[in-house]
Amino acid sequence: MDFDDSALAGLQEALPVAEFRELLADYLASMAAPLSQALALGEAGNWKDLAFAAHTLVSTSGSYGLTRASALARDLERACQAGHGGEAAALLPELVASATRGAAALRARFLGDRVAA
């Protein structure tokens, strides 16, 4: 599952609508940069720094409900730590694709935007 809306349901109830929407909009606006950074590190074969970047993605993507991206980021972190470059390189596009789909689903669910076809 790319997006699990239950991760944010409790917070939606606890926060004023505008604040909740702003939090999610800020996250969506910020998420492209670490993914681009991860891709660049992968292209450069910098597995050590990519493991660090993947670790951050495990947390942030999972915390905002992008469960599949979080799981893929954890696999990526482990592959990088083990020096399995081929596996890491294969996981990267899958991670970016899942995060992109998850972000679209999050936007559609909580910000009322349509998911692009």
Partner 1 sequence: MTTDPRSKVVLAVDDSPEDLALLNAILMGAGYAFVGSASGEDCLSLIHRCTPRLILLDIQMPGLDGIETCRRLRENPQLKTVPIAFLTARKTRGDVREGLAAGGNDFIAKPINRDTLLQRVQHWTNHRVAVPKAA
- State the residues that interact with partner 1 by CB under 8 A: 7, 10-11, 14-15, 19-20, 23, 26-27, 30-31, 52, 55-56, 58-64, 70, 74
Tokens of 73: 């980021």
- Taking every pair of Cα atoms in the chain, the longest distance, rounded to a whole number of angstroms, is 45
For 10, other C-beta atoms within 10 Å of its C-beta total: 9
Residue 78 vs 84, nearer CB to partner 1: 78
Residue 49 vs 94, nearer CB to partner 1: 49
Least spacing, CB of residue 83 vs partner 1, in Å: 18
Angle among Cα 70, 97, 99 to the nearest 5 degrees reads 35
Least spacing, CB of residue 27 vs partner 1, in Å: 5
What is the distance, to the nearest Å, from the Cα of residue 77 to the centroid of all Cα atoms in its chain? 13
